Amino acid sequence: MNKKEKTEQAITRCVNKIYPSLGGLEKRMKQKKKMRIYCGYDPTGPTLHLGHLFPTLKLADFQALGHQIIILIGDFTGMIGDPTDKNETRKKLTRKEVLSNSKNYKKLISKWIDFSGPNPAKIVYNSKWNDKLSFSDIIELASNFTVQQMIVRDMFQKRIKRKKPIYLHEFLYPLVQGYDSVVMDVDLEVGGNDQLFNMLCGRDLVKALKNREKFVLTTKLLTDSSGKKIGKTQGKMVAIDASPETIYGTIMSWSDDLIIPGLIGSTRIDIKEIRRIEKDMKSGKLNPIKAKAVLAKEITAMCHNLQKADKAEKEFFNVFQKGEIPTKIKEFKIKKDNFLLIDILIKTGLCSSKSEGRRAILQGGVRVDGEVKKDWKEKIRVKEGIVIRLGKRKFAKII
């Protein structure tokens, strides 16, 4: 890929919008001076998930062009809790939780962002400067914004409508995030489209305090056809450090309309190739499951390696298409004796209560060595090597 193509990729691929304008950013990129570019990661969970891939790969695009990348761990902001997309107030994290969450991040991000070499990325924690802010500093900063500016945010509007509380400290969140931009003196902030408001507050602050331009680039979000964000709550989002099988399988459960956005945002497969896949899928020449398998394999390979992705793929098709038993099954040591099937389900953790187990059996969801068992009172002779299967994806082997 030549420099022109790299630039093209950086400013268009998976980009939702650039503020104040695409042209302005292009002009700035033509200057000799390296840009300082950052993306913030809130350490709200123990790991990053696939949604973080979009902005992270975007940073990688810019790093490849020789710009200074800054990874900001929002250990200070994480404790406030970003009100973005939360219709309810998020519970505040303790410093200890925040630190343990962020420990893992650098390791994960380093899969795509280079922290060594000729143009190493930097990693910074925003508690470093925010901890030092005094109350009067904060009041000073707050004077740059109006309450009206804050409450126009749609999620605040939603809460007002639903008579849900908005706490004062939640107004402070964009303020602090914006202040990060000022302290780090950045030229560009990259983030998901849902971060737009926070990022623009930073742009305002930089303008007010330093009288210069900070560009904002928003990446697309992984959304289904109705525009709903793919979230952890739907169980469709996977941690980047999940097992290859989990990553592969979860992506295979995505609906078809995520294939193309997924390929664009979370892989670096040639964009022309992606357009070809899109065309072939539309014309019926390419079975969508094949395209989805490409996506699943590619992402799995990016999070692990090609070899593991290959294995996960084979496993997936064996288990779910051919109905075979996976190679890796949880094993349980159980006394070789006669047991009620329900008791075995509970012992192996396949069910959490007897009622649940009975239901599963009555609905024909339980198999012992491939044979469906419909009688919940049945006693099973436990032998070594028998395989209990619940539904399609839960297995237990007795040893």
Q: Closest separation between CB of residue 31 and RNA, Å? A: 46
Tell me the one-letter amino acid at 80. I
Does position 363 interact with RNA (CB under 7 A)? The reply is yes
Q: Does 111 bind RNA (CB under 7 A)?
A: no
CB 36 within 8 A of CB 186: yes
CB of 328 to RNA, least distance (A): 12
d(CA 185, CA 38): 10
Q: Does 327 bind RNA (CB under 7 A)?
A: no
Question: CA–CA separation, 291 vs 297, rounded Å?
Answer: 10
| Residue 170 touches RNA, criterion: CB under 7 A | no
> From the CB of 368, what's the least distance to RNA, in Å?
13
For residue 289, state whether it binds RNA (rule: CB under 7 A). yes
Q: Which is nearer to RNA, 50 or 360 (CB)?
A: 360
- Angle 288-303/244-252 helices, nearest 10 degrees? 150
CA dihedral sign, ordered 109, 112, 118, 121: negative
**Residue 242 binds RNA (CB under 7 A):** no
CA 63 vs. chain centroid, Å, equals: 21
Minimal distance, residue 73 CB to RNA, in Å: 29
Q: Does 256 bind RNA (CB under 7 A)?
A: yes
Query: Out of 234, 305, 307, 327, which residue is the one contacting RNA (CB under 7 A)?
Result: 234
- Write out 189-236 in H/E/C secondary structure: EEEEHHHHHHHHHHHHHHHHHHCCCCEEEEECCCECCCCCECCHHHCC
Nearest distance in Å: CB 256, RNA: 5
Give strand pairing partners of 215.
188
What does the longest C-alpha to C-alpha distance in the chain come to? 79
Q: Is residue 162 a contact point for RNA (CB under 7 A)?
A: yes
Is residue 287 part of the contact set for RNA (CB under 7 A)? Answer: yes
Q: Is 226 near RNA (CB under 7 A)?
A: no
Residues 6+ apart with CB under 8 A from 243: none
Can you tell me which of 253, 305, 307, 327 binds RNA, judged by CB under 7 A?
253
318 binds RNA per the rule CB under 7 A: no
Instruction: Give whichever of 272 and 377 is closer to RNA, judged by the CB atom.
Output: 377
Give CA–CA dist 158/165, Å, rounded: 11
Binding site for RNA (CB under 7 A): 88, 160, 162-166, 233-235, 245-246, 248-250, 252-256, 287-289, 292, 316, 320-321, 352-356, 358-360, 363-365, 376, 390-394
